[in-house]
Amino acid sequence: MPGTPSSPLDDPLESAAARWADALASWKIPDEILARAPESPYRLPPGLFVPPAVPPDTPSRRAAAAGLRNGGAVLDVGAGGGAAGLALVPPATSLAAVDESPEMLARLRETAGERRIEPVVVEGRWPDVEALAPVADVVVCHHVFYNVARLLPFVQALTAHARDRVVVELTARHPLAPMAPLWRHFWGIDRPDGPTVEDAVALLTAAGLEPTVERFRRPERGGALDPAARAAFTRRRLCLPPSADADVAAFLAASPPAEEPVVCLTWGGGAS
């Protein structure tokens, strides 16, 4: 109707940001299930974050290395154990890493020291600590997006810190989506379908960033869990007690979750 005030969600960017945030919020574990969890379902095995000695040749690494033709600096946001950033030294001649976990940053420092790399380390949540992080030629951010509800300011801060490009890696769907059959089997509940990489691309496009998109299969990761450890990890994710390990292992053996495709998103930096 003429004269009716427009809603913020009439704006494509606001709408894309709200759709992403709402989809992530739907992943909240029901309170009655979380209250019965004997261990935190959010604790990840440190072994998953061991950077491989020889970095895999992935589209994400190639895209980032292309922005470091003559050396230069890389900033790894949500670095974890440092796999994304350390894989780029060389060709990068300097590395900065941001992560909110002091344990992960300690692991990164240890691995970097073994490789005679001295990273600049910033502890804290991005973009809250962006003022403490240096501008770099290339900013990388691997498998972090699905942990970020307010994705727009997160992305804007990544872009503002990159002179040449930003390279993001994430799974095509939320990384917990393949566990839907397990939630249905053990708890009788359905889990969400989104968000997906298409939702992330919609937000980036609405923000004027025009990302390139390349899908690929994730190579075998260093520190991959053996079947027993994988069952225990999955059981914790499901908020089940240790006595359920054998049942979870049997379900995984009979119906292994499909491996999610991985997607590399690349767009131009905004720093001078």
Give the Cα separation of 66 and 72 in Å (integer).
11
Which residues does residue 93 pair with via DSSP β-bridges, in sequence order? none
pTM of the model as a whole: 0.91
Give the Cα separation of 240 and 1 in Å (integer).
53
**pLDDT at 221 (0 to 100):** 58
CB neighbour list of residue 236: distance below 8 Å, 6 or more residues apart: 37, 39, 40, 41, 43
Structure tokens at 157: 């801060």
Q: Which residue pairs from 7-15 have beta carbons closer than 8 angstroms and sit at least 24 positions apart in sequence?
A: 12/206, 13/152, 13/203, 13/206, 13/207, 15/206
Which residues does residue 214 pair with via DSSP β-bridges, in sequence order? 264
Q: How confident is the model at residue 257 (pLDDT cuts 50, 70, 90)?
A: confident
Could you tell me if residue 56 is inside a domain?
Answer: yes
The secondary structure of residue 71, as a DSSP letter, is: B
CATH number at residue 59: 3.40.50.150
13-38: per-residue pLDDT in tens?
999 999 999 999 999 999 999 999 99
pLDDT at 219 over 70: yes
Average pLDDT (226-242) is 93
Could you tell me if residue 8 is inside a domain?
Answer: no
Could you tell me if residue 223 is inside a domain?
Answer: yes
40-74: per-residue pLDDT in tens?
998 876 666 778 888 899 999 999 999 998 899 99
Side-chain-side CA neighbours of 255 within 13 Å: the count stands at: 11
The residue range of the domain holding 75 is 13-268
Could you tell me if residue 5 is inside a domain?
Answer: no
Q: How confident is the model at residue 105 (pLDDT cuts 50, 70, 90)?
A: very high
Could you tell me if residue 112 is inside a domain?
Answer: yes
Structure tokens at 74: 């890389």
Could you tell me if residue 1 is inside a domain?
Answer: no
**pLDDT at 6 (0 to 100):** 47
pLDDT at 154 over 70: yes
Q: How many independent structural domains does the chain possess? A: 1
